[in-house]
Structure 1
Amino acid sequence: MKFDKDLMRDILLAVEASDEVPLKWTALDLPDKSLQETSYHVMLLHEAGFIEAQNLTNLKTYQWQPKRLTFKGHELLDTIRDDEVWRRTKAGAEKAGGASISFIWELAKAYGKHVAKERLGVDLT
């Protein structure tokens, strides 16, 4: 299964927006995405340390459910929340020929600083 950068971001945004207490699972309702696709990306985000999630896979269904963002997940989401930063990050990842979650985060931080400089006139390097 291919890694979908937009789905990763959508999952992070949905988990953050959830009103559930961190001990409960966050229900994800992501249009046009299958349970399998979503579960796969939840698992990857969990493995990378961006969310706490649980494997609920059984004999009939492959399913991972998120519970909460980790501190690292909040940092990543705050970095890629801005649409312009996210657009540039994705374009940069495509130019690089694909990217891991960690590389995407590094790109997002760099583009975030660049966008902040453009908007605020402050150099954050």
Structure 2
Amino acid sequence: MQLDKDLVREILLVVEASEEDPRASISLVVEGKTPMVISYHVMLLHEAGLLVGQSHNHLGPGGFIWEPKHLTYRGHEFLDTVRDGEVWRRTKAGAEKAGVAGLGVLLELGKAYGKEVLKEKLGIEL
């Protein structure tokens, strides 16, 4: 299964916006995405340290289930970096041009493009 960069960002945005108890799991439904694809991405985000997820895996059909609980500090940092639509567009384009898709690389690209966009908007370098 391939990493869907847009789904990563969307999951993080939904978890951040949730007003659920951060100790409880959040049930996610994303239009056009299967529960398996969503669970896989939640698992990856958990492994990358961007959110705390919980596995509800069991044997049988539909047994691969991962649900998010809350973002980690690193997850908030990542999301703050790529929240702006223009920064996200440039981050994805840069990752595709370089042929990379890792979450760590996306974070670093997002930081670089974020600084570039801030410089364009504010006229100062960070």
TM-score bracket for this pair, using the shorter chain length: over 0.9
1:62-103 alpha-carbon deviations (Å, 9 max, x no partner): 100000000000000000100000000000000001221000
Query: Structure 1 segments of 4 or more deviating over 6 A?
Result: none
- Other-structure match for 2:112: 110
SS of the counterpart of 1:65? strand
Where do 5+ consecutive residues of structure 2 fail to align?
none
Gaps of 5+ in 1: none
- Aligned match of 1:68 in 63, 67, 70? 70
**1:1-125 pair list within 5 angstroms:** 1-60=1-60, 61-124=63-126
How far apart are 1:29 and its partner, in Å? 1.7
Identical residues among aligned pairs (%): 57
Q: CA offsets, 1:2-29, max 9 Å, x none?
A: 0000000000001001110111111212
1:44 is aligned with what amino acid?
L
What is the CA–CA distance in structure 2 between the aligned matches of 1:96 and 1:56, rounded to whole Å? 36
Q: Amino acid of the residue matched to residue 23 of structure 2? A: L
**TM-score relative to the length of structure 2:** 0.96
1:36 aligned counterpart, secondary structure:
helix
Q: TM-score, normalised by structure 1?
A: 0.97
Distance 1:64 1:96 in 2: 30
